[in-house]
Amino acid sequence: MFGIKADASWHGPIVTVSTHEYGPKGAYQELDKFRAYSSFSESILDDAKFLCGNKRYSNLLGETDYHLVCTLIKKDGYATDPDCTQKLESIIETHRLYLWDQLEKTSRSDQYVVKKGDTLSKLAERFGVPLIELQKLNSIKDPNKIYAGQTLKIKQ
């Protein structure tokens, strides 16, 4: 579903297909190897692992503004298509996928996904929770050690 290329780190099944790429001289076609899956859910899980486990995309974790995510994922090098951002936004808008972010925001108000640049002390101030309480709720010994993508409990 997501067209993740099967580089040397991939040890699963592959499929070789013709793909459109874009370079300094414009568009061209080439045969390339992509990861293959036995189901949609397997593809979705692997894409999530790929994005979450790759430092290159750490700026996306916890972000719920799909316009920003579409811009950043292109900037991060996820695709060579110069129209990648607009195409992703069109798919999201056509299928109203932005509703998933809204659902997440309302159903998980007792949790927060850490974004790049967050600090525990800033989050404590933002949510009106004592720093020591945030540390206890999340079993954090060193308040200087939180990371983008980490889910924190905000209240019990």
Question: Residue 17 to residues 4, 122, 141: CA-CA distances in angstroms?
Answer: 12, 48, 49
Nearest to 76 by CA among 91, 98, 61, 96: 61
Q: Tell me if residue 46 is catalytic.
A: yes
Choosing from 32, 42, 46, 101, the catalytic residue is 46
Q: Tell me if residue 89 is catalytic.
A: no
Structure-token match 């592959």, residue found: 14
Contact assessment for residue 35 and residue 51, using Cβ atoms and an 8 Å cutoff: no
Terminal alpha carbon distance of the chain: 38
Determine the Cα–Cα distance for residues 24 and 17; give it in Å rounded to an integer. 22
Residue numbers annotated as active site: 21, 46
